[in-house]
Amino acid sequence: MVSLQLGNRTVVITGAGQGQGAAEARLLAEAGARVIATDLAEVPPAGLAGLASSSSASLVYRQLDVSDASGWSNLAAWIQSEGWQVDGLVNNAGITQRSRLLDVSVADLQKVYEVNVAGSLLGIQSLSPLMGSGTSVVNVGSVAGLTAHYPVAYTASKWALRGLSQVAAMELGPHGIRVNTVHPGFIETPMTASAKPEFRQTTLAETPLGRTGSVEEVAAVVLFLLSPLSSFVTGAEIPVDGGQSAHGGAKSVSDALR
């Protein structure tokens, strides 16, 4: 029977302390999953307040820097020691870096890649051996990975993540592990709270739905991709962006000719 419920399923989420990751932790716990929420902080961050201590929600918090291979090994060993398998992995942790093309340094590029690309690779390498048939990985890309978004290190990292996702979908498919990517547009989180007002206005002008998205709207698509309802979907990329990436730059022309 297909269902959006995730009862008896264990899901690991990275960068779950705030923003989209915290919303995913909340929704997946509500859907009945055992959520292993991870982030940089030693103690459960404020974004998980209530949930990590609530007896009704099945959520445990673990410290994890996704760029640290030994941290991933420790997490995998701990999950095994608990006698669990992994049914879902959400590679959500990400950082931005807003240098422009002629200013960005190789060190900037490496720093962003370590989290956004290597972090997701390490997650897949460490946890896929604990994943059986019918399990699912969701990588969190960005409309930056579908376009020529100006922060070049971030944009290049999200394009690289798409390549990693497609290889993982191909290689893990025979094991029954699905790998899909969501590409959020402008979502209201602490990451975008620091964006310039001009970025907000121009992005809204390029977004057919005419508004920013909420963390819950991304979490809902992640839930679908983790659930058996998407059992024949792998290697897919789903923009959650109010239509921003779909018009290929034609919206300003359409708007100008109204």
How far CA 185 is from CA of 18, 20, 37, 170, in Å, comes to 17, 12, 23, 26
Q: Which of 61, 113, 150, 154 is catalytic?
A: 154
DSSP 118: I
Q: Please, is 77 exposed, middle or buried when counting C-beta atoms within 10 Å of its C-beta (0-12, 13-18, 19+)? A: exposed
- Nearest approach in angstroms of CB 170 to ligand NAD is 22
Q: Which is nearer to ligand NAD, 31 or 93 (CB)?
A: 93
- Nearest approach in angstroms of CB 82 to ligand NAD is 21
Name the pairing type of β-strands 177-184 and 10-13: unpaired
DSSP 127: H
Contacts made by residues 113-116, CB under 8 angstroms, sequence distance 24+ = 113/153, 113/156, 113/157, 113/160, 114/67, 115/66, 115/67, 116/154, 116/157, 116/158, 116/160, 116/161
Q: Which is nearer to ligand NAD, 5 or 99 (CB)?
A: 99
- Nearest approach in angstroms of CB 16 to ligand NAD is 7
- Nearest approach in angstroms of CB 83 to ligand NAD is 25
Helix (H) or strand (E) holding 172: helix 152-172
- Nearest approach in angstroms of CB 41 to ligand NAD is 7
Radius of gyration of the chain (CA): 18
Q: Which is nearer to ligand NAD, 221 or 258 (CB)?
A: 221
**What is the rounded CA–CA span in Å between residue 155 and residue 140?**
13
For 4, phi then psi, to 5°, come to: -80, -5
- Nearest approach in angstroms of CB 144 to ligand NAD is 7
Q: Which is nearer to ligand NAD, 50 or 132 (CB)?
A: 50
* Residues contributing to the site for ligand NAD (CB under 6 A): 14-15, 17-21, 39-40, 64-67, 92-95, 115, 119, 140, 142, 184, 186-187, 189-192
Q: Which is nearer to ligand NAD, 193 or 256 (CB)?
A: 193
DSSP 61: E
Q: Which is nearer to ligand NAD, 134 or 195 (CB)?
A: 195
Is 61 noted as a catalytic residue in this protein?
no
List active site positions: 154
